[in-house]
Amino acid sequence: MEVVNVVIAILFAIVLSNVLNNLFPKLPLTLIQIGFGCLLAMTSLETTLELEPELFMVMIITPLLYHEAEVTDLSSLWQVKRPIFLMAFLLVFITVFAIGFSVHMLIPAIPIAACFALGAILGPTDVVAVSSLSSQINIDGKLMTVLLGEGLINDASGVTAFSFAKEALLTGGFSPFSAFTELVFVSVGGLIVGYLLISIKRSVIGSLETLAIHSTATYVLIELLMPFLCYIAAELCGVSGILAAVMAGSRQGLDLKKTGLFEADLVSSTHTLWEVITFTLNSIVFLLLGLQLPSVVSHIWNSTEYTHTFLIITSLIVTSLLFVVRFLSVFFIARDVLGDSLRVKLKSAVILTLSGVKGAVSLATAFSLPFVYSSGMDFAERPMLLFITSAVIIISLLVALVTLPLIADTTVEVDVITPLRLELLEETLEQLNAQERMEKTGQVGVVIAHYQRRIRELKYSMYAKIKKKELDELHSFAYSIELSALKLRRRSWTISTQTYLDYVDLISTVYHKNLRGMLAHIISRLERLRWVIKRFIQPKGKVHRQAWIEQHRTKLKNLFSGNVDVVVRALNGERQHFSEELIELVIDERTDLNRQVMEGLKGALHKRQSQNRDNVMLKGYYVERRVIHQFLEQSKITAAQANLFRVDVNKLESFTLAHSRSEVVLKFLELTGLQ
């Protein structure tokens, strides 16, 4: 049960960290997740979750690398194969010896083999951390390709170097020739195992298709099992499980896909599932890092053997040395991708240097350090090496997050898709209006309202990026006006407590786009709960349910409609303080919501008309597809953009039947007991 509690706590932490990151986008998600991990570690949960290196590599890192290799463009990697190969192998061994000798000079008490083990731990970069950085910082395409390629394959060289350093630490013996041959064996062997297993998988899938076994769940499960199968099989053969998974993922990405309904369903299901898995595992990596930090740091921090100043200075020196070694190495071995002029080369080298961050993979490897020597004597320096590893991870992440935005190209790419999508929807709306004027059936009205809402939501997304603060202020102002009008009615006893609480819940749903609306929604729910409990404990008498529902519904509808004029007048009076387009946007939204409430809430009639409404909506999607084709023929959009817009239409068409009523309508039905 304790493990279940830990898993639930971690999943909640993932959700909360992403919510905080969306509310405060300037706060890096990586640091938020590490912080949540540290908070979890301060509870009793910390004693129930220890970082098992082998389990961590199999269950988390392997599927991430497999999927990363599957979606990576191999042709791009091949174009920069030389710097990738040199940075994945040569740079790791340079780091091993540089860090090893330096740490041994700083702390002679640590055996040289243990210092080399530390160098092997800090040699490879963390592809998960690199991917996290790339989502927050604009890095040149070639440089990003080199970083991802390096991260995909340098674990093999790092693990091999660590295993030999660990063996030398335990036995006192080391052979450079054996180390080199072992590296070649585990690397090539891992690639061969991965290639063979993915080939077998293709044969199995082909046999299932021949037998006409078209089970999406079965095929998806086979896909999910592949990275684990590759890793375990390779490790049993004594070769690199990581490289086996990377090879399998790369080969999987090259497979030709058939064009058929089953294949389309399979690709869609697999893509969605991998999105959830990678999102969750990426978050778990940094949460686990935060979970381990307090115990690792406190063990040596409270020791009397080393002063706090010495620990901090040593960690800073090791981190600085890592950056210096990486910069000098990158400047020479990756010169093909650094640029033309000396200034550009230096800038690119600095970006590659700072982006080579360490992560939970390094910490997991460090946990593989032995507790005792072969002689049975305690390995007393293990806590010190764990502390240095943890400190280097945190410092490298902080330095990268702080300095890279200042050095890398922070120019935000121009969003060309949103304006094109807006233009496309406006043209679709214009053609629908023309069709309605010709037919005069009134059936296209619901489709027109749908496209008006989509246009408004698209404008909201545009303004949220460039005028978010002003938009939040305007929503807060509209909410306060509506709430003030409601409180005035309550003080005059023209509405009941139940009507007041339900209406607050309703308008909180309308203005949920900002934090204030969300908090008001939560508070109103708590107030309603308290009121219901009070009425249950102290009943005032029975009222016929149907009559009460009808009366309550009428009051809410009249209130919602009556407050439209109040809100519109108040917003019109603020045109000198807010931009014209934002005010029109909020007014249009409130007016449209009122129309939905007045015309869309017909009880059983509303449900009977839903099928006809869905059929009319399909006609609207047909017009939208026609407009996309027209834009493509007129060269207003590219073929790739047309495909993107068609995918959007397909999604909307698929979910029309399931999502036929708006959130506000559903809320109104819920409050009036008609849902």
Q: What would the pLDDT profile of 434-463 be if each residue is shown by its tens digit?
A: 887 777 666 677 788 778 888 887 887 777
CA distances to 146, 151, 233, 254, 256 from 251, in Å: 19, 18, 17, 5, 10
| Mean pLDDT, rounded, for 290-310 | 81
Whole-number Å distance between alpha carbons of 617 and 609: 12
Contacts of 420 (CB under 8 A, 6+ apart): 631, 636, 637, 641
pLDDT of amino acid 477: 80
Most confident of 259-263, 388-392, 416-420: 388-392
Residue type, 303: S
Mean pLDDT, residues 41-61 taken together: 70
Lowest-confidence range among 344-348, 502-506, 526-530? 526-530
* Residue type (1 letter), 553: R
Supply φ then ψ for residue 306, to 5 degrees: -125, 140
Which of 559, 543, 565, 557 is closest to 602 using CA atoms? 557
What percent of the chain stands above pLDDT 90? 5
**Window from 386-390, 519-523, 640-644 with minimum mean pLDDT:** 519-523
**Nearby residues of 80 by Cβ (< 8 Å), 6 or more positions away:** 142, 145, 146, 149, 336, 337
pLDDT for 300 equals 80
Structure token pair of residue 379: 């390995």
Percent over 70 (pLDDT), the chain: 75
3-class SS letters over 183-252? HHHHHHHHHHHHHHHHHHHHHHHHHHHHCCCCCHHHHHHHHHHHHHHHHHHHHHCCCCHHHHHHHHHHHH
Q: Tens digit of pLDDT for each residue in 57-79?
A: 888 888 888 888 887 777 777 88
C-beta separation of 393 from 362 below 8 A: yes
> Under a CB-based contact definition with an 8 Å cutoff, are residues 162 and 92 in contact?
no
Nearest-angstrom CA–CA distance, 180 and 100: 18
pLDDT of residue 675: 46
Give 372's DSSP letter: B
525 pLDDT band (50/70/90 cuts)?
A: low
Q: Cα–Cα distance between 40 and 283 in angstroms, integer?
A: 14
Q: Is 227's pLDDT higher than 80?
A: yes
Burial of 246 (0-12, 13-18, 19+ CB in 10 A): buried
Please tell me the predicted confidence (pLDDT) of residue 539: 45
Please tell me the number of Cα atoms within 13 Å of 593 on its side-chain side. Answer: 26
Distance CA 582, CA 596 (A): 21
CB 80 within 8 A of CB 142: yes
Coil, helix or strand at residue 378: strand
User: Across residues 280-300, what is the average pLDDT?
Assistant: 82
Spatial distance between the Cα atoms of 374 and 213, rounded to a whole number of angstroms: 54
**Residue 135 DSSP SS3:** coil
Beta bridge partners of 372: 378
Structure confidence by residue, pLDDT tens digits, 591-605? 777 776 666 444 333
pLDDT tens per residue across span 307-359 = 888 888 999 999 999 999 999 988 888 877 887 788 888 888 888 888 888 87
Please name the residues in contact with 550: beta carbons below 8 A apart, sequence gap of 6 or more: none
Contact 570, 589 (CB under 8 A): no
Cβ(360)–Cβ(92) under 8 Å? no
The residue among 475, 156, 139, 571 whose CA lies nearest residue 338 is 139
pLDDT higher at 228 or 556: 228
Q: What residues does 213 pair with on adjacent strands?
A: none
Least confident of 113-122, 482-491, 508-517, 651-660: 508-517
